[in-house]
Amino acid sequence: MYKARQDGFVFCKTTETQEFSFSFQREGFSKFNKIYEYDYQMFGQTVTMVMTSVSGHLLAHEFRMPFRKWHSCNPLALFDAEIEKYCPENYLDIKKTLEREIRQCQALVIWTDCDREGENIGFEIIHVCKAVKPDLQVFRARFSEITLHAVRSACENLTQPDQRTSDAVDVRQELDLRIGAAFTRFQTLRLRKIFPDILADQLISYGSCQFPTLGFVVERFKAIQAFVPEAFYKIKVTHDHEDGSVLFNWKRNRLFNHTACLVLYQMCMEDPVATVVEVASKPKSKWRPLPLDTVELEKLASRKLKINAKETMTIAEKLYTKGFISYPRTETNIFPKELNLSALVQQQTQDPNWGAFAQRILDQGGPTPRSGTKSDQAHPPIHPTKYTANLQGNEQRLYEFIVRHFLACCSQDAKGQETTVEIDIANERFIAQGLMILARNYLEVYPYDKWSDKVIPVYQKGSRFQPTTVEMVDGETSPPLLLTEADLIALMEKHGIGTDATHAEHIETIKTRMYVGLTADQRFLPGHLGMGLVEGYDSMGYEMSKPDLRAELEADLKLICEGKKDKSVVLQQQVQKYKEVFIEAVARANKLDEALAQYFGEAAEIPEQDEVYPAMPVSVRKCPQCNNDMVLKTRKNGGFYLSCMGYPACKTAVWFPDFVLDVTRDESICDVCKPHPVHRLKFKFKRGSVPPVMPLEFVGCIGGCDEMLRELLDLKYLHRPSQPASSATQPPQHPQANHSLNRAGSENRQGRGTTNPARGHLLSVISSRTSRDAAPAAAEDGSDAVVCNCGSEALLLTVRKDGPNRGRRFYKCGSGSCNFFLWADEQAEDGGAAAPRGSAFPQPAAGRAPGGGRAPEPAGSGGGAEPGGAAVCRCDQPAVTRTVHKDGPNKGRQFHTCPKPREQQCGFFQWADENVAPVNLTICLSMTHWINPSTLSNSLIGNLSSQITVPSFVRAVTDLVWS
């Protein structure tokens, strides 16, 4: 059986009884979470208890890769990005312990704290254990303190875990992740560029709780700034007596009109004799404090002990785990009837400071605590559970405060007698009050409240006396004070921001982010960054610093716990609400810049928004390996590829060759390829890299159905090994890629290829575009010698120059007559040997580039045009010869081109120094190895261009054959 506690400690040993007895202690995989075994009576039998602990949440919400990386996507995508719940690396040892131990157990008992977070942690433990043992019995122990009675009672009254309470935490965690990550990236990425000198290294975080908390501080500060003092006037009367002086306050309090007050004062001074018109005496009580809940503990510790909320809760949790106080996170201020308060008071009678008071409570009829109005139905108010005198420092101070508060609320109200005297001077009334304390009661043990006597003489109704002074005084209204931590916590509770367990955390966050600071008297003062953020968002029209949005969420979470709202509905509504706010905030981001510029100086100019926020990944198709989206991406050194969003777990990718100048997703969807939808891509090709009949801008599908695009891009469509041989000739529906490719190395386009697929695994396509130049011919004698374009045997040389190709072997023309060049490791791939001379591809016909397309006309060419020898352009005119004058590798090189003016040229181009063999029918047909008209259907021809038809394609091929 498991007992797990969220804070890493366990209750397992007691000296009062042998009901719990350890057999032994042993180590788990985590050195911080021990394992204890002992026998205990449960379920009507003796069972072996195996007890261990977890350290807070065992699992965490996080975006799936690559959304975890800041520059992976536009922050807007985070509202819809897939989220997973996983075990962080530092908790894997705890998870391994649970998985190992549960195999030997028949039941699991959850002993996490009985609040929302504890319930959710319990379900994380259940999830891990049931993954190992699905039929495991699960129980929930409910307790509020670590005492023998509480633990025994929990064991005897086991319940079931509360799924709805856990669901509320899941919703809150997911929303906090999505909202916080989206706004934090938006703010940080933008403002670092806008104010690089000030915010270059600043994390500008956003949280749906921390921001309203900041808003309270800014609102108070701005109220003080906007405050305009106003002069007021009043009349004050004093009367001296043997024991002091009595102050009579004007019943009108004050007037803001000087003349009116002056007139009344002068009337009083005409006959300044006071007549006693009323004397009243009545009992007065000072109420003892209510039982202590978490919010009151934080506020009172801050005000009375000067210990901040975060430290207060840290100390309280330590006292709780040591068994000195009850669970410190509670919203309840009503003691349950079944709680034995007398026994708790009895424990404190031994203390030298408050022991006598505790005994008096017992002697006077026992505890009679005052009751509040709040109950979370989970934990009682905070109270001492065990006496100790061995604490030091703030631990001792906080423990003493909790004890004194408990005894005070179990005592009686302080009693007194209040006397009110009213006098009349010239029909103006003045009042004085006196107090006589009759019984201090709770004040004797609770020094944190002050109540003192205020002595006034005995006045008789109708008596007259001469006042000592009658004065007209003036003053000014004063602005409100900056917020203290107690004030801030009170506002957070009032408006539903966070919970009693998270108030301290949110306050600490805005301090560490430097959104606020503290004055010398420990009051909150907003910083420039905090002021600018609040003012910027408020100016957009969305008062995100106001508590309304978060308060609505907290209310919805309560409804989930009560079963009145569905988890998925709340999640969907809240995500949509914040998404709309985010879109609007991004659209009006300049308001944020302007607000911060008031504090940081002029904002820097930045490029278009897309350069600040990465473009949102748009899905082209589903990955055939893992079913994640595949999206278009740009390589660091230029070029494009299609990548799986599951990277690095899935390395499926489609790499496009360098002659693809641009590629975007088209809105059209392929009807053939599956799984749907498979979007077509819009390509822009480099001039001269595609067949002349193919447009430079082309829309096609890479799902496997478009044969021309498949051949052009060298997409290798491999089949599953399990498919029958008869299907091997059928075009597959899904591209398959080499998963063993290293991404870092795949940037190098030289020599990229695909490896053989592993048996039974579907591989996705890696485009391995190789040179479209003619394959080098073999020697006539059948040897593997490589022949250049001149027909001579090429020389085999080695690169000696330092660089990435050093040591690499290559072929070049032996006589230097042509520009033939070939890397030795790029010989013809089919069969692994060079092709025979008779089937070698020649140099392109006049006007065609080596890839089969038209070559670009060199810029900057010109000069004396000469007839181009036997060369004839596509207009059937003798070509002219020109020389390249533009600086570059071809400067001084001659070429043949059309003799007509530039705007009328047919596009013919041919280098003059290239040996061009005549093209015959056999060679042209061999070129259809990669452009075969017979394989193109009308629908595929239609993809090429709206102007290209089957007849025009045939005519183009005929022209190519007979040119």
Active site residues: 327
Q: Residue 411 — φ and ψ, nearest 5°? A: -95, -150
Angle at 33 between CA 28 and CA 34, to 5 degrees: 60
Q: Which of 294, 289, 214, 226 is closest to 488 using CA atoms?
A: 214
Look up tokens 């002086």; give the residue: 245
Q: From CA 767, how far away is CA 69, in angstroms rounded?
A: 26
- Exposure pattern of 723-745 as b/e (b: 16+ CB <10 Å)? eeeeeeeeebbbbbbbbebeeee
Q: Which of 740, 666, 728 is closest to 703 using CA atoms?
A: 666
Angle at 790 between CA 786 and CA 794, to 5 degrees: 30
Q: From CA 57, how far away is CA 238, in angstroms rounded?
A: 65
Q: Residue 793 — φ and ψ, nearest 5°? A: -70, 130
Q: From CA 2, how far away is CA 793, in angstroms rounded?
A: 80
Order the strands of the 640-644 sheet from edge to edge. 619-622, 629-634, 640-644, 653-655
Type of residue at 512: T
Going 272 to 278 to 283 to 289, the CA torsion angle's sign is: negative
Residue 83, token pair as written in the block: 């989220």
Give the DSSP H or E segment for 929: none
End-to-end alpha-carbon separation of the chain, Å? 88
Give the DSSP H or E segment for 297: helix 294-300
Q: From CA 47, how far away is CA 943, in angstroms rounded?
A: 74
Contact criterion met (CB below 8 Å) for 33 and 12: no
Helix (H, G, I), strand (E, B) or coil at 835: strand
Q: From CA 513, how far away is CA 599, in angstroms rounded?
A: 17
Q: From CA 371, how far away is CA 293, in angstroms rounded?
A: 12
DSSP 8-state symbol, 738: -
Residue 732, token pair as written in the block: 């597959």
Contact criterion met (CB below 8 Å) for 780 and 788: no
Q: Residue 823 — φ and ψ, nearest 5°? A: -70, 140
Residue 563, token pair as written in the block: 């079963």
Contact criterion met (CB below 8 Å) for 256 and 231: yes
Neighbours of 704 (CB within 10 A): 23
Contact criterion met (CB below 8 Å) for 205 and 513: yes
Contact criterion met (CB below 8 Å) for 916 and 845: yes
**Beta strands at 464-465 and 524-526: parallel, antiparallel or unpaired:** unpaired
Helix (H, G, I), strand (E, B) or coil at 432: strand
Peptide bond before 66: cis, by omega within 30 degrees of 0?
Answer: yes
Q: How far is CA 427 from CA 271, 273, 274, 484, 748, in A?
A: 11, 11, 10, 43, 100
